[in-house]
């Protein structure tokens, strides 16, 4: 698993069009991912303002331009990226794949629509049970995978795993190819983040419909779907003063963006080179990925990890059955210094 991750990363770095690709990492610079909230924070000068206080510059890295999921892990280890925004399930997959990372921020529980399952508008499928015998697509290293797997399982439907054939076929497809696979009839359904910039146009053009919503009692909503920010353990230990400015700017940006969605969307659209209505959807829709309220209680974050790990192991998640973190490892992974009561916590 680890070897394949590095192989993908090397291929990606060889073909990337990112403006950062040809530059060596600079020790006096923090590299942040380019996304909706960082685009706004950089435009407003909030990230620069916070990092100026510790004598450090900040630059954005357009990881989306690389078009290979999971390349963030390689960039982190090279010092060419310092933070990743993702969900709980993905953060632990990176950790279990060998990335020596720590979680430094976590959100409160997400809306059930953060991850969902879609089919084409004219599909005869209207509920999850209708996917029996059909082909479901998605990306294995993603929380939509977990959300749909759990939802199917709770309806008594087994999805294909590494261990056994199920009632629903599963095709692993990288995000860049998912839309064409669905529209071209290569798959019947797709596990997605509706707020993802490649998926949102399917919604705004009325091309898809969602199947049953994720339950508010699900393990996904109460565990795997929390927003997480992680960084390398070595970076957090050596430069905690460079972690805190990122978190301060994040929460400042969250508040302004939610209060000013149109202005924020205009900035993000320009910086990310996407239509404004797509950028706004990622801010105001229930499926948003970046704007959940912070969870200061580290114990609740750890409990969420325990919850979805335990469910995954018990219910045949082929990733978590192979690898998982014990209680001590989870407590080390969720860095206490950045949560309530910690030296670098935000209050």
Q: Range of 178's domain?
A: 116-213
pLDDT of residue 64: 82
CATH of the domain at 334: 3.40.190.10
The proportion of the chain whose per-residue pLDDT surpasses 90, expressed as a percent, equals: 86
* Interatomic CA distance for residues 272 and 200, integer angstroms: 14
Residue 162: which pLDDT band, with cuts at 50, 70 and 90? confident
Whether 127 and 153 share a structural domain: yes
Give the global pTM.
0.91
Whether 153 and 290 share a structural domain: no
Q: Which of 183, 213, 243 marks a domain boundary? A: 213
For residue 9, pLDDT beyond 70: no
Q: Which of 213, 237, 259 marks a domain boundary? A: 213
Residue 242: which pLDDT band, with cuts at 50, 70 and 90? very high
**What's the whole-number mean pLDDT along residues 194-199?**
95
Whether 136 and 231 share a structural domain: no
- What digits encode the pLDDT tens for the residues 25-59? 788 999 999 999 999 999 999 999 999 999 999 99
* Interatomic CA distance for residues 347 and 339, integer angstroms: 9
Q: Do the strands 189-192 and 29-33 form a parallel or antiparallel pair, or are they unpaired?
A: unpaired
b or e along 92-109 (b: 16 or more beta carbons within 10 Å of the residue's beta carbon)?
bbbbbbebebbbbbbbeb
Report CA 20 to chain centroid distance, whole Å: 21
CB-based burial label for 314 (10 Å; 0-12, 13-18, 19+)? exposed
pLDDT of residue 23: 53
Within-domain flag for 178: yes
For residue 11, pLDDT beyond 70: no
For residue 140, pLDDT beyond 80: yes
Q: Which of 153, 180, 213 marks a domain boundary? A: 213
Whether 81 and 103 share a structural domain: yes
Within-domain flag for 183: yes
Whether 14 and 101 share a structural domain: yes
Residue 328: which pLDDT band, with cuts at 50, 70 and 90? very high
pLDDT of residue 24: 64
* Interatomic CA distance for residues 232 and 223, integer angstroms: 22
Q: How many domains does the chain have?
A: 2
For residue 20, pLDDT beyond 50: no
Within-domain flag for 60: yes
- What digits encode the pLDDT tens for the residues 74-113? 999 999 999 999 999 999 999 999 999 999 999 999 999 9
Whether 194 and 234 share a structural domain: no
3-class DSSP state of 227: strand
Whether 189 and 239 share a structural domain: no
- What digits encode the pLDDT tens for the residues 117-139? 999 999 999 999 999 999 999 99
- The vertex-143 CA angle with 289 and 205, nearest 5°, equals 60
Whether 201 and 232 share a structural domain: no
For residue 209, pLDDT beyond 50: yes
* Interatomic CA distance for residues 92 and 169, integer angstroms: 25
Within-domain flag for 220: no
Contacts of 38 (CB under 8 A, 6+ apart): 32, 47, 60, 253
**What's the whole-number mean pLDDT along residues 297-305?**
98
């Amino acid at each position: 698993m680890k070897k394949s991750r590095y192989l993908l990363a090397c291929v990606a770095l060889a073909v990337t069009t990112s403006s950062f690709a040809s530059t060596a990492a600079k020790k006096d610079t923090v590299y942040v991912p380019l996304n909706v909230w960082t685009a706004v924070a950089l435009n407003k000068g909030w990230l620069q303002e916070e990092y100026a206080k510790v004598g450090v510059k900040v630059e954005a890295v357009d990881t989306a331009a690389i078009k290979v999921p999971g390349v963030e892990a390689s960039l982190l280890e090279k010092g060419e990226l310092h933070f990743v925004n993702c969900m709980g399930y993905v953060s632990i997959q990176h950790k279990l794949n060998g990335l020596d990372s720590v979680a430094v921020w976590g959100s409160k529980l997400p809306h059930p629509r953060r991850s969902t399952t879609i089919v084409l508008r004219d599909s005869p499928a209207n509920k999850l049970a209708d996917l029996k015998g059909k082909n479901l697509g998605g990306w294995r290293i993603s929380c939509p995978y977990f959300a749909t797997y759990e939802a199917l399982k709770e309806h008594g439907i087994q999805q294909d795993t590494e261990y056994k054939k199920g009632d629903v076929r599963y095709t692993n497809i990288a995000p860049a190819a998912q839309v064409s696979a669905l529209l071209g009839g290569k798959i019947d359904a797709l596990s997605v983040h509706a707020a993802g910039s490649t998926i949102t146009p399917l919604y705004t053009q009325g091309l898809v419909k969602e199947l049953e919503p994720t339950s508010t009692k699900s393990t996904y909503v109460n565990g795997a779907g929390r927003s997480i920010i992680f960084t390398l353990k070595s970076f957090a230990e050596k430069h905690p003063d460079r972690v805190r400015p990122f978190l301060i700017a994040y929460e400042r940006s969250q508040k302004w963006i939610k209060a000013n969605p149109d202005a924020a969307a205009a900035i993000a659209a320009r910086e990310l080179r996407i239509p404004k209505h797509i950028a706004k959807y990622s801010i105001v829709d229930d499926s948003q990925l970046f704007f959940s309220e912070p969870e200061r209680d580290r114990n609740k974050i750890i409990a969420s990890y325990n919850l979805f790990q335990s469910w995954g192991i018990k219910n045949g998640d082929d990733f978590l059955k192979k690898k998982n973190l014990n209680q001590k490892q989870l407590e080390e992974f969720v860095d206490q210094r950045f949560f309530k009561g910690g030296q670098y916590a935000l209050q």
